[in-house]
Amino acid sequence: MVDRRTLYPEIEPDEIGFLPVGDGQELYWETSGNPNGKPVVFLHGGPGGGTSATHRRLFDPAKYRIVLFDQRGCGLSIPHASTSPDHLASNTTWHLVDDIEKLRQHLGIERWMVFGGSWGSTLGLAYAQTHPSRVTELVLRGIFTLRKLELDWFYEGGARLIAPDLWEGFLEPVTASKLVPDDRGHLIRAYHRLLNDPDPLVHGPAAVAWSTWESSMITLLPKPEVVERFTEPSFALAFARIENHYFINEGWLEEGQLIANAGVLRDIPGAIIQGRYDLCTPALTAWDLHRAWPEASFTLVDDAGHAFDEPGILDALLEATDRFAA
């Protein structure tokens, strides 16, 4: 029997705020845990997934000053992409990297640990490679680097080989629409049209189908409560619009950029944690990062999917945050 870890106890934030970052956008942020503890910033997934109170519980509250924030357009940040898609023009990877710096300065933090899962790992790599001197440690899970192979796998039909039933649901809004054939072969593009159609009867069901696909695929075993949470209509619309906007623009990254530049991380203590049965961000990317950054610890969990609270993933994440707190 494996010893399973549980999350740290529920805690409330001791400070919250809204940070204006320009372009008419304000980011919700909060701090919890020990105000004099080791600073850590949590980078959420999606992009567009937002933070939740559970994310605080990945860190020993006696040892860490825990910083959570909602990236542009999602969570409690304003304006929300479900009602204000125009603001996507000033929502890119590099805006978010700058936002992390603004938040660090606002909180008076010199250097901090960076923790990111899934899209949070992408953003964590982009931030750490841009501002390596600000990062004390880097903990990454469910590694995603937005390479063509990764997007093709999840959004253009690769994963259909494993989940043909769920894939039909993802295709449904595209099949039902009158999109030109060219768009049908490029699903990210087809969805871009649907999600930005002014008609709620077009963008609404498209957003729910997009979010249903993703939330159904992130856990090893089906979890209806996860799908329910991520398909609430306004959450789903912001999530789908933001993700789709990032993916149609290839994350404003050169192909393979985040792996190619991994050498910059050499002196930063790191942990890479990955589920072998992660169908959303398959293990090949974590492996490629491990090869490019062998100094970081590498944990491939044999019986886990993508989500941060898959049991084996949680064990490894808590081991890493405890190790770096010591």
Q: Which residues are catalytic?
A: 118, 278, 306
Q: Which is nearer to ligand STX, 285 or 299 (CB)?
A: 285
Instruction: Tell me how far apart the alpha carbons of residues 241 and 145 are, in angstroms, rounded to a whole number.
Output: 19
Q: Which is nearer to ligand STX, 39 or 251 (CB)?
A: 251
Shortest reach from residue 235's CB to ligand STX, in Å: 9
Residue pointed to by tokens 């710096």: 101
- The answer to whether the CB of 25 falls within 8 A of the CB of 78 is yes
Shortest reach from residue 253's CB to ligand STX, in Å: 14
Q: Which is nearer to ligand STX, 33 or 45 (CB)?
A: 45
Q: How buried is 185 (Cβ within 10 angstroms: 0-12 exposed, 13-18 middle, 19+ buried)?
A: exposed
15-22 and 25-33 strand pairing: antiparallel
Q: Which is nearer to ligand STX, 45 or 282 (CB)?
A: 45
Instruction: Tell me how far apart the alpha carbons of residues 83 and 284 are, in angstroms, rounded to a whole number.
Output: 36
Shortest reach from residue 219's CB to ligand STX, in Å: 9
- Supply φ then ψ for residue 296, to 5 degrees: -75, 145
- The answer to whether the CB of 217 falls within 8 A of the CB of 159 is yes
Q: Token pair of 34, please?
A: 């020990």
Reported as half-sphere exposure (CB side, CA atoms, 13 A), residue 166 has a value of 23
Shortest reach from residue 250's CB to ligand STX, in Å: 13
- The answer to whether the CB of 296 falls within 8 A of the CB of 271 is yes
Residue 182: CB atoms within 10 Å: 9
- The answer to whether the CB of 93 falls within 8 A of the CB of 117 is no
Shortest reach from residue 245's CB to ligand STX, in Å: 13
Please give the residue whose beta carbon sits closest to ligand STX in the complex: 49
Which parts of this chain interact with ligand STX (CB under 6 A)? 45-46, 49, 118-119, 144, 214-215, 218, 230, 280-281
Shortest reach from residue 246's CB to ligand STX, in Å: 9
The beta-carbon contacts of 307-311 under 8 Å, at least 24 apart in sequence, are 307/142, 307/218, 307/219, 307/226, 308/55, 308/58, 308/117, 308/141, 308/142, 309/7, 309/54, 310/219, 310/220, 310/275, 311/4
Q: Which is nearer to ligand STX, 283 or 325 (CB)?
A: 283
Q: Tell me which residue of 73, 147, 78, 135 sits closest to 101, measured CA to CA.
A: 135
Q: How far is CA 154 from CA 158, 171, 245, in A?
A: 6, 12, 15
Q: Which is nearer to ligand STX, 128 or 218 (CB)?
A: 218
Shortest reach from residue 150's CB to ligand STX, in Å: 8
Q: Which is nearer to ligand STX, 68 or 107 (CB)?
A: 68
